[in-house]
Amino acid sequence: MNPEPPIRLTDVTQCFRVIRERPDTLREIFAKFHRRRITHHDFEAVKRVSFEVPPGATVGIIGRNGSGKSTLLKIIAGVYKPSAGEVTIRGAVAPLIELGAGFHHELTGRENILINGLLLGLSKQQIKQREESIIEFAEIGEFIDAPVKQYSSGMYMRLAFAVATEVDPDILLIDEILGVGDAGFQEKCFERLQQFRARGKTILFVSHNMASVRRFCDRVLLMSKGELLADGPTELVIAQYEQLTGQVQPVYSH
């Protein structure tokens, strides 16, 4: 009997309301409100998307800016409740979907380790046992006891990645965050992702870096204008993406 997939989406749609006009003054706001002239339309960022991810798979999500990749990841992370469709998640999820998301800027790095660990389901004792490993991996030195509002983007990324991977989630969601930081630390992150794969963890990886997608992903989803355009082997789907973006020319046989 096959195990249930950790991630399953069925006909998922995400709509956002877009205001068509923006009054410049408070007086105009009240005037337009009373005349009911403020108009809007619904924008479908994700349109009837269905797929599932089996245990232990590393799946890339690619597409142009605005194609719905990040929105899709936020739906899976629980940041957005879909407007329609069904999302089923089995297991603990660690999202790395926005730089500094989940961090309290006034608190120190050490205090944020505790908060994030608790949010990800660990006890205080478990977090304490992992704290030194997190700090060592993050490589931020004495800044661990400084407020995170003083951190650079690279320091944010290092600490966020260290926390998310040290708490040992079942599912790891990554959205471009590994594009921040120096090459040495990126390689260190990639090595840890390889360890995750070896232990049968499920990873969703959003990136514009096709070299990274080729390196880590067994399968790739291609998003275009909110729709799932392709779902298949890495090289095949990347070739379709490159053709879509005009990076390569299609080959015609005679």
Quote the pLDDT of residue 1: 60
Q: Tell me which of 3.40.47.10, 3.40.50.300, 1.20.1090.10, 3.30.465.10 is the CATH number of domain 7-91+170-244.
A: 3.40.50.300
Of residues 29 and 230, which shows the higher confidence score?
230
Quote the pLDDT of residue 167: 82
- Work out the pLDDT band at 38, boundaries 50, 70, 90: low
Characterize 229-243 residue by residue with b for buried, 16 or more Cβ atoms within 10 angstroms of its Cβ, and e for exposed. Answer: bbeeebeebbbbbee
| Backbone φ and ψ of 176, nearest 5° | 60, 0
Of residues 200 and 37, which shows the higher confidence score?
200
| Backbone φ and ψ of 155, nearest 5° | -65, -40
pLDDT above 90 covers what percent of the chain? 52
Give the separation between CA 152 and CA 64, rounded to whole angstroms. Answer: 27
Could you report the per-residue pLDDT of 48-63, keeping only the tens digit for each? 999 999 999 999 999 9
Of residues 241 and 29, which shows the higher confidence score?
241
Domain boundaries, the chain: 7-91+170-244
* Reduced 3-state DSSP string for the chain: CCCCCCEEEEEEEEEEEEECCCCCCHHHHHHHHHHCCCCEEEEEEEEEEEEEECCCCEEEEECCCCCCHHHHHHHHHCCCCCCEEEEEECCCEEEECCCCCCCCCCCEHHHHHHHHHHHCCCCHHHHHHHHHHHHHHHCCHHHHHCEHHHCCHHHHHHHHHHHHHHCCCCEEEEECHHHCCCHHHHHHHHHHHHHHHHCCCEEEEECCCHHHHHHHCCEEEEEECCEEEEEEEHHHHHHHHHHHCCCCCCCCCC
Position 208 pLDDT exceeds 50: yes
Give the separation between CA 165 and CA 159, rounded to whole angstroms. Answer: 10
Quote the pLDDT of residue 121: 81
Could you report the per-residue pLDDT of 142-158, keeping only the tens digit for each? 999 999 999 988 888 88
Position 34 pLDDT exceeds 80: no
Of residues 85 and 246, which shows the higher confidence score?
85
